[in-house]
Amino acid sequence: MRRFLFWALLCLLAGFLPSAAAQTAAPGSDPGAALLETLDVDSYRDKGEAITAIVQSDDERAREWLQALLDGRLQRADDGRFVVVLDNAGRNWPVEDALTGEALGEMSRRELDRIGINNALRNQLRSAIAVVDLISPDVERRRSSADRLLGEVDEALAETLVPVIEEAEDDYVRRRLGQALAIYQAENGEMAGVEALSGSLHPRARVALNRAASGDDPVVADAARAALASVEQNLKLNRGVETLYFGLSLGSVLVLAAIGLAITFGVMGVINMAHGELMMLGAYTTWMMQQLLPGQPGLALVLSIPAGFLVAALVGIAIERGVIQFLKGRPLETLLATFGISLILQQLVRTVISPLNRTVITPEWMSGSLVINDALSLTLNRLYVMGFALFVFAALMLVMRRTRLGLEVRAVTQNRAMARAMGIRATRVDILTFALGSGVAGLAGVALSQLTNVGPNLGQNYIIDSFMVVVFGGVGNLWGTLVAGLSLGVINQVLEPWAGAVLAKIIVLVFIILFIQKRPRGLFPQKGRAAEG
């Protein structure tokens, strides 16, 4: 492959004269010195030939020399040495020897003579560096080099790119180089390029097809228009997948926010308006863990999961024991009381911490995106939140179906009086249920800290949506909460692009009102005498 790349460069770099390549250093001297000498000439044509000679030399330092020349950092000192400027700020610049890499301290700008290049040489250098990088042992460098060639292929390189593509061992590099060649062909009205780009989602490919569609050859133009139609169809499909992904990620947040509320609302009949503030406490717990473990955001996030659950659960127990136990059977009064508690918690955070939003650092393993194709990439933080929501849901289902607490919760939910008659301590179940629901709200806050800034009003953005999810899915039913949360998340994302965020929420609210008129108990109605009463 290296041999083919060199021949490609010979064509690419506007011709190669034997005199430029044949210059050799004196016996025992560094051959790189002679290569750099050929750059220090007045003729831009000779400099182009010198660049070709440097690439053909197969010198390990060639890439660094070419990059330094492109950046204007390759210069010649008054004593005749070639140096690379490390930082050109100030009057004196730190430099290193271009041949040995030895640090030479600082030199004044007056002691250095810059090797000038023009725009043609800059383009030549960019293409040369990209092609040189194709044979780099570094996988990422090879792939980024192939990406840079998209839309940059000219006639000289196109003639020799075919054998380079055939010799490429990396599938990604081979595919990208094939696209680069096809883009050049399509821009020049060649049918082969148009056919190769049919269905391609890269922006440069669409630009090339648009040019081909406006060309003089009617056959090629018709084929380009057909290819563009195929591309647009693929783009619509990918945009649909992206909308679904963002809808599911939003739905996952709603599930996390509502699932704890569904438990407490279903068992105790309490409308807890402070549920959003419990989420806020979970988010602040994540931020505080990162303050305790600076420089370790990943470990801090992992530890925040049990810590956020515990903090929110303890605050939930305090709310239940301090207020809610005295207001059982009076839902309107519990609503007003918990609304007051929510205001107290918000002000407490503003006073103790700050009224300003706090930023939680996303760990490296949650950053970035999962690239599916040129038009679709899935952000990893949302993917992790979706997985976390499903994990919490599965854990809660396990608790509710496989533990004694779950059995007692289901019994109290279906018929509190009969459960008491069977010896179940309903008060203890209430405390544990409220603690469990509050703890899950804390987990929702931990997840939200990776998607948005942490502030005193964080929970207020989700409390209304959480109640809509609970009512829509069926009070006290976990499966209903999961289905309703994911459904409302997707519906919101579908409506927002054309209706706007506010109108989309209004439409969803009207839909839920109409739905409840037909099915007052939601998607998955509660069973038992309590549901009938």
* Structure confidence by residue, pLDDT tens digits, 2-15: 444 444 444 444 44
Helix (H) or strand (E) holding 243: helix 218-268
Whether 71 maps to a domain, the answer reads yes
Q: How confident is the model at residue 20 (pLDDT cuts 50, 70, 90)?
A: very low
pLDDT digit string, tens, across residues 47-84:
888 888 887 777 778 888 888 888 888 888 888 888 88
Question: For position 498, what pLDDT does the model report?
Answer: 78
Is residue 434 included in any domain, yes or no? yes
**Is residue 386 in some structural domain?**
yes
- Whether residue 193 contacts residue 183, with contact meaning beta carbons closer than 8 Å, is answered with yes
Residue 496 has pLDDT above 70, yes or no: yes
For the ranges 167-181, 310-324, 512-526, the maximum mean pLDDT occurs at: 310-324
Q: According to the model, what pLDDT value does residue 1 have?
A: 47
Does residue 270 sit in the same domain as residue 403?
A: yes
For 149-183, what is each residue's pLDDT tens digit?
787 777 767 766 777 777 777 788 888 888 888 88
**Each residue of 475-495: pLDDT tens digit?**
767 888 888 888 888 888 888
Residue 288 confidence class, pLDDT cut points 50, 70, 90? very high
CA–CA distance, 205 with 185 (Å, rounded to integer): 11
Residues of the chain with pLDDT > 70, as a percent, come to 90
Per-residue pLDDT, averaged over 458-480, amounts to 81
pLDDT of res. 526? 61
- 124: pLDDT strictly greater than 80: no
Domain assignment present for residue 514? The answer is no
Same domain for 117 and 241, yes or no, is no
Between CA 207 and CA 218, with CA 212 as vertex, the angle to 5 degrees is 155
Residue 530: what pLDDT? Answer: 45
Residue 373 identity (one-letter amino acid):
N
278 vs 423 pLDDT, higher one: 278
**Does the structure show a pLDDT above 80 at 19?**
no
CA atoms of 475 and 485, how far apart (whole Å): 13
DSSP classification of residue 26: P
Q: How confident is the model at residue 198 (pLDDT cuts 50, 70, 90)?
A: confident
Half-sphere exposure of 434 toward its Cβ, with a 13 Å CA cutoff?
24
Residue with tokens 């750099």: 36
Neighbours of 432 (CB within 10 A): 18
CA–CA separation, 35 vs 438, rounded Å? 71
Residue 527 is predicted with a pLDDT of 57
User: Residue 234 half-sphere exposure, CB side, CA atoms within 13 Å?
Assistant: 19
The reply to whether 402 falls in a domain is: yes
Q: Tell me the torsion sign for CA atoms 54, 59, 65, 67.
A: positive
Residue 21 has pLDDT above 60, yes or no: no
Number of domains in the chain: 2
Cα–chain-centroid distance for residue 106? 41
Tell me, yes or no, whether 505 lies in a domain: no
Give CA separation, 34 vs 78, 80, 95, 132, in Å.
17, 12, 20, 20
Establish if 314 belongs to a structural domain: yes
Using the 3D structure, point to which of 83, 99, 123 is the last residue of a domain.
123
Would 115 be classed as within a structural domain? yes
Q: Is 20 left (phi over 0), alpha (psi -120 to 50) or beta?
A: alpha
Of the chain, the percentage scoring pLDDT greater than 90 comes to 14
In the listed set 92, 123, 154, which residue is the last one of a domain according to the structure? Answer: 123
Sheet with 112-114, edge to edge strand ranges: 103-108, 92-97, 82-85, 74-77, 112-114
For residue 428, the enclosing domain spans 237-462
pLDDT confidence tier of residue 290, bands split at 50, 70 and 90: very high
Q: Are residues 109 and 253 located together in one domain of the fold? A: no
Statement: residue 113 has pLDDT above 80: yes
CA distance 445 to 310: 12
Same domain, 281 and 410: yes
Same domain, 117 and 249: no
Q: What pLDDT, on a 0 to 100 scale, did the predictor assign at position 167?
A: 74
Q: What element of type H or E holds 355?
A: none
Last residue of a domain, one of 88, 108, 123: 123
Q: What value does the mean pLDDT of the chain take?
A: 82
Better pLDDT: 153 or 106: 106
pLDDT at 265: 77
